Amino acid sequence: MAYETIIVEIEDHICLVRLNRPDAMNALNDVLFKELAEALTEAQKNDKVRCIVITGSEKFFAAGADIKMMSERSFVDVFESDLFTAEADAFLRVRKPIIAAVSGYALGGGCELAMMCDFIIASDTAKFGQPEINLGVVAGIGGTQRLTRAVGKAKAMDMNLTGRFMDAEEAERSGLVSRVVPAKKLMEEAMAAAGKIAEKSMITVMVVKEAVNRSFETPLREGLLFERRVFNSLFATEDQKEGMAAFLEKREAQFRDK
């Protein structure tokens, strides 16, 4: 399917989505967010896709929501349209893993988009920030919530209140990103991580994603109970038998997603 603001390629079970509004540093407008939600929903439905990678360009992942688009809107406009909410909901309904491969600026909605992914691999040039305060607004799709859970109150307050950017090294130290790699190696590393995930049992992969995400929604006791129950239920799968047999027979497992 041809899109206007993103480029989608599917190869070796990986759906690679490139944000593509270079003139506006990949700023997120209505069209981009809608197309992204559509592409991810399609990737979820497509049996060939086992992992998704979202990236931008070397200089910018996304510099935030489109300020030109938002500047003339009134409270009633944004309230009535519930800007980006349906698209964010569609994003969160994707059960396959999504990796953000971030190089350059990931600011405002760009940082929030990266945080909506399951984990972030950053290039050493990446810069994260929630500079909405400089525009007289606040983050609107997770910058005060997911960022606080990722890096803690002190840094989340600092970034949201001062609008300062966090470089890749600080982002890794703070737990915002899972790894930092040289800019030239970013896509190789992200695609290799996606490839590793694509080799696993899809059922187990989706259970892992759901269980880790559950930890954000529940108290520890409930989360542990959820984990125990999904652990138990995976013993009903053929892939559990295959995975354990393969280990004992010292061979690679051949998972069949059953």
**How distant, in Å, are the alpha carbons of 55, 83, 211 from that of 230?**
31, 35, 8
Strand order in the sheet with 105-107: 60-62, 105-107, 127-129, 165-167
Kindly tell me which of 97 and 131 has the beta carbon lying closer to ligand CO8: 131
Residue 89 token pair: 């909901």
Active-site residue flag, 9: no
Question: Given 35, 112, 172, 189, which residue is catalytic?
Answer: 112
| Positions in the binding site for ligand CO8 (CB under 6 A) | 24-25, 27, 63-68, 83-84, 105, 107-109, 131-132, 135, 139-141
| Active-site option among 27, 43, 62, 65 | 65
Verify whether residue 109 is a known catalytic residue: yes
Burial class, 68, CB count within 10 angstroms (exposed 0-12 / middle 13-18 / buried 19+): exposed
Closest separation in Å from C-beta 112 to ligand CO8 = 6
Q: How far is the CB of 212 from ligand CO8 (least distance, A)?
A: 24
> Which helix or strand (DSSP H or E) is residue 148 part of?
helix 146-151
Specify whether 194 is catalytic: no
Structure tokens at 186: 């970013």
Residue 75 CB, nearest approach to ligand CO8 (Å): 12
Residue among 117, 113, 17, 120 at smallest CA distance from 130: 113
**Which one of the listed residues 108, 109, 129, 140 is annotated catalytic?**
109
> Is 154 known to be catalytic?
no
Output 135 or 253, the one with its CB closest to ligand CO8. 135
Active site residues: 65, 109, 112, 132
